[in-house]
Every structure is written in structure tokens, then in C-alpha cells.
Amino acid sequence: MRRTPATRLGTALAGAALLLAGCADDGEPRSDPTWSPTAVPESPSTSPADAATKPALPDAATKATKAGAEAFIQYYWDLINYAEVTGDVKPLRRTSGSSCDGCNDGIRAIRKHYRNGGHIMGGEYRVTIKSTEHAKVEDNAAVVIGAQITVSSAEQSVINGDGTTRMVKPGSSEWTLAVLWNGDHWRVDIMRLTR
């Protein structure tokens, strides 16, 4: 399960609520024997070690629906995580449209970095999908879904081929994507950084 800013807020508020609920008016801890915490701290399922494992396409991403497109977008960013820490960009290539410059720029950069002897550690991306929309496609029955997403990233070490290291700070970025259902699978046709 991925942790998004929204879920973090929920976790924080839930934690606060639990603290309030767990205190009696006199400030003493609640002694009700039937009470037990129901919320447990979440931890991201994808650790840096997990990112080095080639992600499997989830079943949800094999359907030509909005939910399928959302699952695919999450999967695509899992592939980016995987490519960044391994240099293996083949799965990304297979799921990117040939005219998707935003995809190909990133793929080329990773490939070039690893070819030059560099590697990357950390920096896992987490995706929050803000909105999705069915596109109108002229003279074609193709299913295209656009999405606005927010991507947050952890701190990252970019180790260059000459041994120097560049630290990339955690951050958040916003993207617009358009994904096309290509008969039996999704592919990314547009990937544009908007903020």
C-alpha cells in the first residue's frame, strides 16, 4: 500500500484522535479494558530494496477503465523507480509511446547515466492521482485517459561514473499524463511536467 500525502494527513489526524480518545478528562490514560488501538502506523510497502525488483503489472492495470488507467500510472512510476536504481529501462520502453517525449527524455537520461558508469540510490517516487478524464479522440474509438498526478520523491544519491555524488533533495512535482489503451495494454503517450 502506498502512502500519499492524503493518507499521511489521515494517519496524523487518526493518531491525534486516538490520543484524545485515549485520555480521560482528568488527563489520565484511559483504563477501559475493551479499548485497543485500531490504527497502526503505516509503512511504505516499497522499500529501496523493493525498487530493485522488477515490478509486476497488477491485474487492475489490465482493464480499459479509469481505474485500470490509474493502476497503470502507478505501475509506470514503479517502473521508473525500478529503472532508476537498476538502469533497466526496457520495461519503461515497452510501456511508453514512441512519441512520448516526456517518457523518452527520462529513459534516455537513465540509460546514459548507467552507460557512463553511474548509478542511482534511493529517491523512490510516490504517486497521488488528483484527477482523471476520458479524452475525446477524433475519428477513432481509442480509449485515452488523461490524469493529473502529484509525485513526491525521497532523497536520492546520484553517483556519477567519475565517482562524484550529487544529492537530490526530496521534492514534489506535478505531471499531466495521457495513457492509451492499446488493445490489450496501456501505454503512456503524453508525460508532461507541469510544476
For residue 115, the minimal CB distance to other proteins (Å) is: 15
For residue 1, the minimal CB distance to other proteins (Å) is: 19
Nearer to other proteins, 33 or 195 (CB): 195
Nearer to other proteins, 71 or 179 (CB): 179
For residue 126, the minimal CB distance to other proteins (Å) is: 10
Q: Which of 123, 128, 164 is nearest to 149 (CA)?
A: 128
Distance CA 127, CA 149 (A): 7
Distance CA 32, CA 151 (A): 42
For residue 194, the minimal CB distance to other proteins (Å) is: 5
**144 close to 110: Cβ distance less than 8 angstroms:** no
> Residue 193 — left, alpha, or beta (φ > 0 → left; ψ -120 to 50 → alpha)?
beta
Nearer to other proteins, 59 or 183 (CB): 183
**135 close to 178: Cβ distance less than 8 angstroms:** yes
Q: Which of 182, 95, 100 is nearest to 141 (CA)?
A: 182
Nearer to other proteins, 59 or 119 (CB): 119
Nearer to other proteins, 26 or 59 (CB): 26
For residue 49, the minimal CB distance to other proteins (Å) is: 18
Element (DSSP H or E) covering residue 152: strand 143-153
Binding site for other proteins (CB under 8 A): 5, 8-9, 12, 15-16, 19-20, 23, 25, 27, 80, 84, 98-102, 105-106, 109-110, 113, 120, 123, 125, 131, 133, 135-140, 142, 144, 146-148, 151-153, 156, 158, 166-174, 176, 178, 180, 189-190, 192-195
End-to-end CA distance of the chain: 25
